[in-house]
Amino acid sequence: MLCGLAAGFNGIIISGWLGSAPANPATAYELTIIAAAVIGGANLAGGVGGAAGAIIGCVLIEVIRNGTVLARVDPYWQQTLVGCIIVAAVLVDRLRSMRNG
């Protein structure tokens, strides 16, 4: 219910801001969303993670993205960095799950 309410509220805000209702304003954000969830502690296999961790992951990804924009890093390398962060977070998660056993 809250997700639907947030999506509706977001649609109203986007419509007011752009003056129209585009169908694809967040195209190609899939990699960033997965990275934020994994950094926040979610397991790619499922069953682990929470909203607070996802929010922290979103903040960290946005800080990294903003830093690379301010440093004038090419957008290709920004996506490469996000991909490397996902790989590192998955490796840490796998090592942690192997130790806990």
Question: Position 85: which residue type?
Answer: I
pLDDT in tens, 4-33: 899 889 888 888 887 877 777 777 778 778
pLDDT at 75 over 80: yes
Angle in degrees, 0-180, between the axes of helices 75-100 and 51-70, rounded to the nearest 10? 150
The owner of tokens 């490397």 is 84
Who's near 22: CB < 8 A, 6+ residues apart? Answer: 14
**Model confidence band, residue 71 (pLDDT cutoffs 50, 70, 90):** very high
**Model confidence band, residue 97 (pLDDT cutoffs 50, 70, 90):** confident
The CA-CA-CA angle for residues 24, 78, 26, to 5°, reads 10
**What's the confidence (pLDDT) of residue 5?**
93
